[in-house]
Structure 1
Amino acid sequence: MTGDAEHVFPAEDGLFEETFGAENTYRVHGLDFRIRQDYSARLGVSASVWDSALHLCQYFESESLDLRGTRVIELGGGTGLVGIVAARLGAHVTITDLPSAVSQIERNIAGNVPLSGWPSGAPAVSALSWGLDHRRFSSGWDFVLGADIVYLPESFPLLVDTLAHLSRDGAVVFLASAMRREHGAQDFYDRVLPQAFSVELVQRDPENNINIYKATLR
């Protein structure tokens, strides 16, 4: 990622002093998912499975959302868990993140191939820099997903522009966020996103301070 984007998504040089990996198993929809997390300064926040990702996957289960045959794109995939779950549930999935995270996502896809094969094909992986190259992606999605991608106020306009393009043909957006005051999450959902989208709070977990929002382009 070059140019202005470097200032929007700065390297987290001090986030991890050492590089190490860990593999955890997560059970969602009665299925086990083995997710490798490679902690390093290069990956930064993309290295982790955040609680919001698990909440979003569990929300699909609790709402009995039928993803079979749908077209799904995930933003800020990180480890790829949300997109991998959607693909196991039958969606045609593209998982995106910054270029530094692509190899981690690809490894996790390879580590979660169902014995009977992917119902609608393996997830595709692509680098996507919000607000910069989003227009090379289609607008023909059914769902746009994101988990814990609202944490950097200077990126909010880029994120909204990207969401607006991807959902132009009617996609439904689901975003799960830890509502951290210092990251401006509430302001994003109350003021920034509603400038272009109709926004609905569909789930609130006060104990973990995680909200899930549904949004459609106005």
Structure 2
Amino acid sequence: MSNTKNDDISVKDYTFCGHTLTITMFKRAALGLSAYVWGPAVVLCQYFHDEKIDFTGKKVLELGSGTGIVGILAVLLGGHVTITDVPETLKQIEYNVNANIPVTSKHRSKVRALLWGTDHLNFPSDFDFILGSDVVYSPMHFPGLLATILHCCNENTTIFISTNMTARMGSENFHKELIPKQFKSELVRTSGMICIYKMNKKPTRY
């Protein structure tokens, strides 16, 4: 892992699944927390590496992408990936997509704005996977996040959420109280205080 940084940008290399990703973080672009690669993203990528996750031919949605690292890796692992975040973060994601995804695979990536609970209805409900790293960080965003996940998934969708359980407000309540009401949830990896949950929507009862 190598680093380059100045006051405006920071560049770091990460290697997973035989791919080296060069991630640029635009720290002076008023992106706030979105301008960083946080631990939950690294742990989720390492999980894909360790478990030899294959997204080939699968339709994938990444929520709250930030730098794009998780979604980019999913593209390199064969997925057709829609990488999303708030509008002001998209240029950073697009920069990293262009820097890391070969031209021959670029058609399998899309970068789109997605405001949780606001414009999620503009997205389909047939994703094979939904990915989120460090998206559980504030109770005020939980209703929109849950509405978005529920709309974009179906009973066959596999959802991976990676969360720093001690550093993010309300994370215990989200994963242990809110999620079990509508999802089957399994803790599949812990790394320090970071937990990865694998989730599936519960069958609809009529």
State the TM-score, normalizing by the size of structure 1. 0.86
Q: Which moved more, 1:125-134 or 1:174-183?
A: 174-183
Matched, 1:201 2:187: yes
Q: Which moved more, 1:120-129 or 1:189-198?
A: 120-129
Report how many residues are paired.
Answer: 197
Q: Distance in 2 between matches of 1:42 and 1:195?
A: 36
Q: Distance in 2 between matches of 1:149 and 1:127?
A: 15
Out of 108, 111, 117, the position equivalent to 2:104 is 117
> How far 1:117 sits from its partner (Å)?
2.4
Which residue type is aligned with residue 117 of structure 1?
T
Q: Distance in 2 between matches of 1:76 and 1:106?
A: 14
Q: Which moved more, 1:164-173 or 1:29-38?
A: 164-173
Which residue type is aligned with residue 178 of structure 1?
N
Structure 2 unaligned blocks of 5 or more: 1-5
**In the TM superposition, what are the counterparts of 1:18-33 in structure 2 within 5 Å?**
20-33=8-21
Instruction: Give the match for residue 112 of structure 2.
Output: 126
Structure 1 unaligned blocks of 5 or more: 1-17
Instruction: Give the match for residue 83 of structure 2.
Output: 95
Aligned-pair identity (%): 41
> How far 1:109 sits from its partner (Å)?
0.5
Provide, for residues 84-133 of structure 1, a one-character-per-residue CA deviation record: whole Å limited to 9, x for no partner. 0000111000000000101100000011133x721x73410000000011
Q: Distance in 1 between matches of 2:60 and 2:120?
A: 15
Q: Distance in 2 between matches of 1:158 and 1:197?
A: 16
Provide, for residues 11-51 of structure 1, a one-character-per-residue CA deviation record: whole Å limited to 9, x for no partner. xxxxxxx9611111111112110110011362111111111
Q: 1:169 to 1:135 in 2, by over 3 A?
A: farther
Matched, 1:69 2:53: no
> How far 1:169 sits from its partner (Å)?
5.3
Q: CA RMSD in A?
A: 1.7
Deviating above 3 A after TM superposition, structure 1's stretches of 4 or more consecutive aligned residues are none
Instruction: Give the match for residue 144 of structure 1.
Output: 130
Secondary structure of 1:183's match?
Answer: coil
Secondary structure of 1:160's match?
Answer: helix
Instruction: Give the match for residue 26 of structure 2.
Output: 38
Q: Distance in 2 between matches of 1:133 and 1:139?
A: 13
Which residue type is aligned with residue 214 of structure 1?
K
The answer to whether the Cα contact below 8 Å between 2:17 and 2:52 also exists between their aligned partners in 1 is no
Secondary structure of 1:73's match?
Answer: strand
> How far 1:182 sits from its partner (Å)?
5.3
The answer to whether the Cα contact below 8 Å between 1:174 and 1:214 also exists between their aligned partners in 2 is yes
Matched, 1:85 2:69: no
Instruction: Give the match for residue 3 of structure 2.
Output: none
Q: Distance in 1 between matches of 2:107 and 2:82?
A: 11
Instruction: Give the match for residue 162 of structure 2.
Output: 176
Instruction: Give the match for residue 187 of structure 1.
Output: 173
Secondary structure of 2:104's match?
Answer: coil
Secondary structure of 1:110's match?
Answer: helix
